[in-house]
Amino acid sequence: MLGDEEPVKRVVVIEDNPDNRLLVDAILSEHYVIEEYENGLDALAGIEASPPDLVLLDVSLPEMDGIEVLRRLRDDERVCHIPVVALTAHAMRGDRERFLSEGFDDYVAKPIVDEDVLVSAVARLLDGRQPAASAR
Ligand code: MN
C-alpha cells in the first residue's frame, strides 16, 4: 500500500559480485528503491551526489575495500550519519563485534540464506519497523 505517509526509502548496495547484487535486489526491491554499485569509488561519488537512507557495503571489494569506503563515508559530514550495514562472507565467531567496532551499524553474513535477516536489519535501522510500503 503506497500511502500518503513517508516516501519510499533509498538503499545503496555496494557489492562486486553480480549474483549477490541480484539477490539483494530481489529481497529488498519490494520495499525500497535500490541503487547498485560494483566498486567503492563510484559508490562514494553517487552517495555524495544524492545521499541514500542506508548503505549495504560488501567488505571485500577490489581496489578500495569496504573498510576504506566506510572510513570515507564517516569522514564526510554530509553522509556520516547514514547507517551502513556490512555484507561479508567472513562469518566467523567474533566478526560481528569486529565489524561493529569498525563503525558499521550492523552486519549480515553471506551467503544470505534467510532473507528475513537482511530485511530485518535494514528495516530496524531505517525506522525500527518492518517495511510496510511496496516500492513497485
Ligand atoms: Mn566482494
Question: Which domains, and CATH codes, for the chain?
Answer: 2-134 (3.40.50.2300)
Which grid coordinates belong to 53? 537512507
- Is the Cα torsion angle 120, 126, 130, 136 positive or negative in sign? negative
Nearest to 56 by CA among 108, 126, 3: 108
Going from the Cα of 61 to the center of ligand 1, the distance in angstroms, rounded, reads 5
- Residue 132: pLDDT over 80: no
Nearest to 28 by CA among 16, 40, 15: 15
Give me the mean pLDDT over the 67-81 stretch: 96
Query: Which pLDDT does position 30 carry in this prediction?
Result: 92
Residue 73 exposure: Cα atoms within 13 Å on the Cβ side: 33
Going from the Cα of 17 to the center of ligand 1, the distance in angstroms, rounded, reads 6
Going from the Cα of 24 to the center of ligand 1, the distance in angstroms, rounded, reads 13
Going from the Cα of 3 to the center of ligand 1, the distance in angstroms, rounded, reads 36
Going from the Cα of 123 to the center of ligand 1, the distance in angstroms, rounded, reads 23
The pLDDT tens digits of the residues spanning 13-70 come to 999 999 999 999 999 999 999 999 999 999 999 999 999 999 999 999 999 999 999 9
CB atoms within 10 A of CB 4: 4
Higher per-residue confidence, 107 vs 91: 107
Query: Which pLDDT does position 136 carry in this prediction?
Result: 47
Task: Give DSSP secondary structure letters for 28-60.
Answer: HTTTSEEEEESSHHHHHHHHHHS--SEEEEES-
Going from the Cα of 36 to the center of ligand 1, the distance in angstroms, rounded, reads 13
Tell me what percent of the residues of the chain surpass a pLDDT of 70: 87
**C-alpha distances out from residue 12 to 4, 62, 91, Å:** 24, 18, 22
Give me the mean pLDDT over the 69-87 stretch: 96
